[in-house]
Structure 1
Amino acid sequence: MRVVFAGTPDFAVPCLEACRAAGAEVVAVYTQPDRPAGRGRKLAASPVKTAALAAGIPVEQPESFKAESDRDRLASYAPDLMVVVAYGLILPRKVLAIPRLGCWNVHASLLPRWRGAAPIQRAILAGDEVSGVDLMQMEAGLDTGPVLVERRTAIEANDTGGTLHDRLSALGADALAEGLRRTMAGETLTPRIQAEGGVEYAHKLDKAEARLDFQLAAIALERKVRAFNPWPVAEADVAGERLRIWSARALDGVSSSAEPGQVIAATREGIDIACAEGVLRLTSIQRPGGRPIGAADYLNARPELKQAVS
């Protein structure tokens, strides 16, 4: 089977490797154009491009498929199938029609819940107990196609955006490998049409969302801290200082009559802050220009905070 693979970030790399391991011939890799990155803002290749070049696979980086020449270039690879994983471009109908078997997409949610750009973080923010990965036959609509293979996983109480990302990336590769093996063995996969109800859209993350508002419930803020680790990382004003919050937890059964945002306790275990509902304990924080540290180290640098609430 001749496969064209389209993907960009780290999440997609295991799926590229799964295509090759399943015995498919990956004839080309499509990925986003090199973008400025790092403090020097030098152009950097995507993780998928790096993996493709290491494997000796031709790489294509069109800005879009609006030009007929870009679609002709894709068609010249004569793909049986195009596999799309976090590519970053919406494929027009003319592109979807090029491969003999159409296009498959590996999507990090249990569709139709969390269609769109940020399904992993949105699932944590919403307090979902289960997530997963769907291998989907692509249609013109956004993540609307029928599901071919599905994998599920529980969202654990300590999962972050990063840990769930890594687990779903591996599950996505597993689901894709199954779909490829079965198809290459001559089986026709049975599609499951998505339900009409339960549709949620996972809008792209915005850095402004990372600000913690202590007028909200502590459990909602805990989920935000977890969801936005490792990006964009939650931020909060704590006793007059802007901090990045890497880990925090809502204290079970603890409440406070203090004003939301007020530090009510500061110990080696964490810095407890009153919320509109409940108390949030900050356990790993980062000062401006510093690195993430535990509450004990932070209080060593700010002993007045410990004294103020003693």
Structure 2
Amino acid sequence: MSIKKIIFAGTPQFSVPCLQVLLDSAHSVCAVYTQPDRPAGRGRQLQASPVKQLALAHQIPVYQPTSLKNAEAQATLAALQADLMVVVAYGLLLPETILNAPRFGCINVHASILPRWRGAAPIQRAILAGDAETGITLMQMDIGLDTGAMLMQAKCLIEPQETGETLHDKLSLLGASVLRQAIDDVEKLEKTPQDAHYATYARKLEKAEAQLDWTQSALALERAVRAYNPFPMAQTTIAGYTLRIGEAQALPAPTNAVTAGEILQITKQGIDVATQDGILRLLKVQKAGGKMLSVADFLNGHQHLLT
């Protein structure tokens, strides 16, 4: 094992377990790069990222450039004379100058089994596609979008009731486990090129896509409800109310021909909506300004909707 001087780059909670692994290791974290503080909460006050908060708690110098494309930012990073840069959900593109600055280059902890689901939202896209498994890929970064050679992989099942949140948390810990196994001798690991023939792209999540499209199948819509929880949260309009959907269940198709989007019944068991193929039963809903409730609790305050 060679003791390495490491730059860590990450921003959200997903990245925190990986940073903790490095802090607990024999290696030295010489600097942390993270996104600039963002307004958050009702007061819209600037808030440090979870990664920044952990770095400051350990007296690690923190850098927050808005871009790494300018010469000043590149010179600052190069002056750190790091052996390795570990990148986990950082959120900024790394130009070639940055990729080549550390002695052993830059490695990335990516939340999919590459080359499937390159891109910004691999966790949610895997659920939406109905994948049975996903995992973590430790990758040597290059100038492409998640195209670098693979160093190590670990797989995990996507459970039938898995949400974007639960899979996020599972993969965050799995990523830390992979990094823990690899970091001591990462520079010696075999580099396996990706087969681009099998590549798929996990585009960024948009709020607009969370509006449920009843012309899809009930099964696809159930996956959407799970994938978009907690962001951007699936939503639809029922009896004049715009509702966010926290949980739903796909049911067999109705025996009579119905129109997609038609409300079949509203009971304490759920709100049944016809889809192109099957019924989607809404189980947990949230009205604007309210709390996420079971349909039974929601109907306690909206008795007039009962059928």
Give TM-score scaled by structure 2 length. 0.96
Alignment match of 2:66 (pick from 41, 63, 66): 63
Distance 2:23 2:254 in 1: 52
- The one-letter code sitting in structure 2 at the alignment partner of 1:193 is P
Query: 2:241 matched to 1:238?
Result: no
CA–CA separation in structure 1 for the residues paired with 2:125 and 2:160? 15
Percent sequence identity over aligned pairs: 52
User: 1:234-264 CA deviation, whole Å, 9 max, x = no partner?
Assistant: 1101122110001101014655522222221
User: Contact 2:210–2:232 at 8 Å: present in 1 too?
Assistant: yes
Matched residue SS, 1:236 = strand
Deviations 1:21-57 (A, max 9, x none): 2221000000011111122221111110011001110
Equivalent residue letter for 2:86: V
- Matched residue type, 1:29: V
- 1:272 deviation in Å? 1.0
The CA distance in 2 between the partners of 1:254 and 1:32, in whole Å, is 49
Unaligned runs of 5+ in 1: none
> What is the aligned-residue RMSD (CA, Å)?
1.3
Quote the residue 2:217 is aligned against.
Answer: 217
**TM-score for both structures, normalised by structure 1:** 0.95
Q: Give, in whole Å, the separation in 1 of the partners of 2:253 and 2:155.
A: 31
Which residue does 1:51 correspond to in 2? 54
Q: Judge conservation of contact 2:253–2:277 (CA < 8 Å) in 1.
A: no
State the secondary structure of the residue aligned to 1:197.
Answer: helix
For residues 13 and 176 of structure 2, the distance between their equivalents in structure 1, rounded to whole angstroms, comes to 12
CA distance in 1 between partners of 2:254 and 2:57 (Å): 53
In structure 1, the residue matched to 2:13 is 10
Secondary structure (helix, strand or coil) at the match of 2:190 reads: coil
Aligned to 1:162: 165
- 1:79 lines up with 2:117 in the alignment: no
Q: How does 1:75-224 map to 2 (within 5 A)?
A: 75-183=78-186, 188-224=188-224
> 4+ residue stretches of structure 1 with deviation over 3 A?
252-256
After superposition, give the CA deviation of every residue in 1:36-91 in whole Å (9 maximum; x if it has no partner).
Answer: 11222211111100110011100000111222221111112110000000000110
- 2 CA distance for matches of 1:298 and 1:116? 37
In the alignment, does 2:290 pair up with 1:287? no
- Of 14, 19, 22, the residue aligned with 1:19 is 22
Q: Which residue of 2 aligns with 1:258?
A: 258
* Contact 1:105/1:135 (<8 A) preserved: yes
Stretches of structure 2 lacking an aligned partner (at least 5 in a row): none
- SS of the equivalent of 1:271 reads strand
